[in-house]
Every structure is written in structure tokens, then in C-alpha cells.
Chains A and B, each alone.
Chain A
């Protein structure tokens, strides 16, 4: 699935609704919601834990019990997967695809979003509508069309591994554009641009020294989401027979179940680490800005 249809901006928290005033009545009223929260916590955490255990413990589930709970924990399944001749090439390819997708996305969408907001506000509705179209054409349909259209017309394009880059840009478009556009709307774009221009800065300087620093938070969030989508994308890569990292994980799972699941775990941990780093980065940046102000 990859890029899913997440597009609601979270609103700030409202005052909570309290039912009943005595602690006892409140506890009873909270019983249902707390049960829901607990059940969800179990449902969402359990698969991740069992995946980690499957990779890191060499004890089959049948023989697992209290006495064998701490036996044979090892990274061997993972290190064995690292030694596979396809591990590094496919990881490198996926990382290159991620970087390529990010560069093309930002290079295409930042100028477009700035242009729409500065010069062509009445095109905003149209552009927003266009950026939602990839939801209507799901990856499996898009890739069928790419194969159907480009095979007779531009076979060289399909033969390249980087054929995936523009397709990933399209797939990520709804949230990359939204994120950049939200960033632009949160700043006083016209005043900043007019001030910079009247002080004698050219467009390049204005972009580099004024606009990009002000948009860094939304650029970072677009970058992170794009990276996680590309590093997990399976549908288009598999259909076009490009052995990216997720495709390799899937194939490796067929040979070595434990190692294949280890690779999936690695993807998950890697994406989460990316998220953590970017969150820290943006938070520090925001703190610096408030300190300066």
C-alpha cells in the first residue's frame, strides 16, 4: 500500500469532556474508553513484538514456554541476511531511489507551490485537485498503465531502475504537496518576498536565504514521509521487476523466513529512527527560532 490516504491536519487539543464530578463516577465513566485504549495498545504493539522475537530468538513457538523464554537470543539471522550478495546492492538502490524521489519532489513542488501562492492564487483549487488524483489511480493501476504505455513507446525508460523515481513522486504527491503548501500558508509569503526584493536580493537569494529556511519544517516532514514510502514500496517495484530492498526482503523470506522477517524489522526500525532524527531536528530548529525572536 505504501502512501496511504492520511491527510487530516491534527487540531490542537480541546478541553476534555468530563462526565460526573466524583472520582468514583468518573472512573466508571472512563472504564469504556480505557478498555478501548488498552485493547488498541495490545493490537498495535503485539505484532511488532512478535516480529522482533521471531527474528532474534532461535526458539520455535511450539517449544516456547516460561523455561525457554530467555534462551538463544541472537542476531545471527540478521547478520546472515547482511551477507547475502543482494543485500547491499538492493539497499543502495532503495536509498538512491529515496534520494532521487525527494530531490525531484522538492524541485518540482516547491517552485510550483510558491508560484501558485504568489502569482496564481486562483489556480490553487485546480492544483490541489490535481495533487489528489494519485489517490484515484492506485499504484497497481498506475504501474499497469506505465507498462502498457511506455513499453511500446519508450522501452529504454522501463529498462532503467530509476524509472521508479517519477512514479514514486506521483505516489507521494498528495502529502508532499500538502505539507509544502501548508508550510507556505503559515508564513507571510508576500511580505517576506517583497521585503527581500526591495532590499535588492534576487530571486535566488530570496529563495535560499529567506524562503527555504522558513519552510524547513514542512520540507523536512515531506522528506521523511517520502523516504519511508519509498523504502517500503513493493507494488510498483515488484510489478516492474526491479529488485529494490522491499522486493529483496520478500524474496529472501521465501528462502529464509527468519532472515526475511528480520529485514522487515530492519525497515521498520530504520524508518522509525528516521522519524526520530527528523523530529529532533525540527524541534531544535523551532526552539532556536523562538529563542532568537
Chain B
């Protein structure tokens, strides 16, 4: 199979097929050995270690009880994990797409777009202790933002629905890396919306609304859906941010850490069953993302 890939930066054509006269022989695979061996030891064996502890009972026989126990015992953690991942992914998709559209169509100032892109690259990788602390100082009970909002007439802590260590607080903090990630994922798709499509739509008598409903959103749909899955996976696996804000926040990653610390000998299958569930959920979400990304690339030319 010959696939010619046009590189985005250089525009050079890179021929993926081996040059004629160079047959790939079986032993050529030996060159990959260090890489494969490394992944085997530091990725595959640990994953195997998790699955083994989750599926092998005390009597050394295969059992499903560890996995089913994890779901029944830790149902609240799963529910909370799903809820915060869904909410932060949904909000991230909406605001990330809006931000990408706003930055992609802005004409002035010229440096705006590259500034937002560069910042998104940094912020999407942020998280953990630094991010948690920053939001403590902003939206904590004694936070600067809380005070400014109170002065402006909005008391965040008056009714009990908001707390920086609670669901909506942590969801807000997650948005700090979810929105930039969505921005990075969806910007190429928004760039792919051609001006001529819009002109064609209005020449045929379509309004802005018709354009978005019949052309814009259907073209963006695969990358938005893919982005949603990516953001979902991202929030589902986030540990350090939630833990630094609230060590008792009831989500799956924090629970895994809690059981690991409490059980040094590693006799209980519970944390490992939770971790296995997590890997399964991540595999489904990431697989869906990769499939949708392939679909989304169809419109880019």
C-alpha cells in the first residue's frame, strides 16, 4: 500500500512505501526491539499486574467478583466520576468551540490567534497541584475572586451549591484545562470551514442560522463529538487536581489512591478492579475519539 502524506509544515511529499529494491525482511523487526521491550516492561507488565489483581481471587482462581464488587461498593464514586466528566466535557466542548471560532475569525490584533494557541498548549497541560492552588486563592472561601464577586452582589458561598472543594468548584477548575484542549482539537476543523460554503449558502437564500444548521455544525459534528470523548477521558483520568483540592472528593482516581495508601500489602483487589474499570472506560472513549478524528479529517484539504 502506498500512502503519500503531504506534510502540513513543509508541504513535501513523503513516500511511506519502502524504496524499490529494498525488501523488508523478517529480521528488520529486530530494530524495534528496544522500544517494544521498554513498553513491555513499563506499560504492559504493570497493566497485566493490575488486571491480575483484579481478576485473580484469594484462592488463585479466576473470578469476576472483584470487578462486580468494585462497581457495587463504589457506585457513588463511579456516578460522581461520570457526572463530573460529562459536565466538564460538555462545557469544555461548548466554550472551547466558541473560543476557537472567536480566535479563528478575529482579524485584529494579528497576534491574537497565535497567543491563544500558545497559551492553550500550556494550559491544556496544566493541572495538578499548581492549578488547584491557583483556584484556591481565586474562588476559595477567602478567595480574591469570591470577594470581588461578593462586592459586586454575587455571593458564591451564600447558598451551599458552590464550594471550591465540591462538585461545581472542581468542575470549574477542570474547565481550565478542558477548554484549551477543546480549542486545540477543534481549531483545525473550524479552519476547514470554507468561506465559499458560506457564500454559497447565502446565495441560495440561506440565513446565518440555516448556514450553521445545514452546513457548519454538520461539518464540525465529528470533531466536536470526538473532542467530547477526548475531554471526557481527560476528566475521568484526572487525579492530582481533584486530590489537591479535596483529598476526600469521591471520584474513581481518588478512591484508587485512597485504597492503595491504606493497603500497603496490596491484598485487596478493590483498587485494582477500580483501575481496570478505568482502563476499560478510557479505552472505549479514546477508541471512539480516534475513529471520529479520522472521520473529521475528511473535510480538511
Task: Mark A residues whose CB is within 8 Å of B.
Answer: 1-6, 8-19, 30, 32-34, 36-37, 40, 43-44, 46-48, 50-51, 53-54, 60-62, 64, 108-109, 111-112, 115-116, 119-124, 127, 130, 132-151, 166-167, 169-170, 182, 185-188, 190, 225, 228-229, 232-235, 238-239, 246, 249-250, 253, 260-261, 264-265, 267-268, 271-272, 275
Complex alpha-carbon distance, A30 and B112, angstroms: 14
Cβ proximity bits B122-138 to A, threshold 8 Å, 1 near / 0 not: 11111111110111111
B49, A120: Cβ atoms closer than 8 Å = no
Task: Mark B residues whose CB is within 8 Å of A.
Answer: 5, 7-10, 12, 14, 16-19, 24, 28-29, 31-32, 34-36, 38-39, 41-43, 45-50, 52-53, 95, 98-99, 101-107, 112-113, 116-117, 119, 121-131, 133-138, 142-147, 175-177, 179, 181, 184-185, 187-188, 191, 193, 195, 198, 208, 230, 233-234, 237-241, 243-244, 253, 256-257, 260-261, 266, 271-272, 275-276, 278-279, 282-283, 286, 290, 300
B contact residues around A14 at 8 Å (CB): 104, 191
B contact residues around A239 at 8 Å (CB): 257, 260-261
Which of A44, A145, A253 contacts B50 (CB under 8 A)? Answer: A145
A34, B50: Cβ atoms closer than 8 Å = no
How many whole Å from B191's CB to the nearest CB in chain A?
5
Residue contacts A-B, CB under 8 angstroms, 15 given: A1-B240, A1-B241, A8-B187, A11-B8, A13-B191, A37-B99, A47-B137, A108-B34, A120-B24, A138-B279, A142-B46, A187-B10, A235-B257, A246-B128, A261-B134
**Which residue of the partner chain B has the closest CB to A261?**
B133
A138, B282: Cβ atoms closer than 8 Å = yes
Complex alpha-carbon distance, A261 and B50, angstroms: 35
A148, B266: Cβ atoms closer than 8 Å = yes
A11, B38: Cβ atoms closer than 8 Å = no
Which of B113, B187, B233 contacts A135 (CB under 8 A)? Answer: B233
**Which residue of the partner chain B has the closest CB to A130?**
B39
Complex alpha-carbon distance, A225 and B124, angstroms: 12
Which of B16, B128, B136, B188 contacts A10 (CB under 8 A)? Answer: B188
Which of B42, B46, B128, B147 contacts A233 (CB under 8 A)? Answer: B128
Complex alpha-carbon distance, A132 and B283, angstroms: 11
A contact residues around B12 at 8 Å (CB): 186, 188
A contact residues around B39 at 8 Å (CB): 130, 133, 170
How many whole Å from A38's CB to the nearest CB in chain B?
9
Given contacts A36-B102, A47-B134, A148-B50, contact A119 B31 (CB under 8 A): yes
Complex alpha-carbon distance, A131 and B271, angstroms: 26
Complex alpha-carbon distance, A141 and B276, angstroms: 8
Which of A64, A130, A250 contacts B244 (CB under 8 A)? Answer: A250
Besides A36-B99, A261-B134, 10 more A-B contacts (Cβ < 8 Å) are A19-B208, A40-B179, A120-B32, A140-B257, A145-B46, A182-B9, A234-B129, A234-B244, A250-B244, A253-B129
B contact residues around A111 at 8 Å (CB): 31, 34
How many whole Å from B268's CB to the nearest CB in chain A?
11
A contact residues around B243 at 8 Å (CB): 234-235
A232, B137: Cβ atoms closer than 8 Å = no
Complex alpha-carbon distance, A148 and B275, angstroms: 12
**Which residue of the partner chain B has the closest CB to A135?**
B286
A138, B142: Cβ atoms closer than 8 Å = no
Complex alpha-carbon distance, A169 and B37, angstroms: 13
**Which residue of the partner chain B has the closest CB to A35?**
B102
Which of A6, A123, A238 contacts B181 (CB under 8 A)? Answer: A6
A contact residues around B116 at 8 Å (CB): 37
Given contacts A36-B99, A54-B137, A167-B42, contact A136 B24 (CB under 8 A): no
**Residue picked from B103, B105, B181, most chain A C-beta under 10 Å:** B105
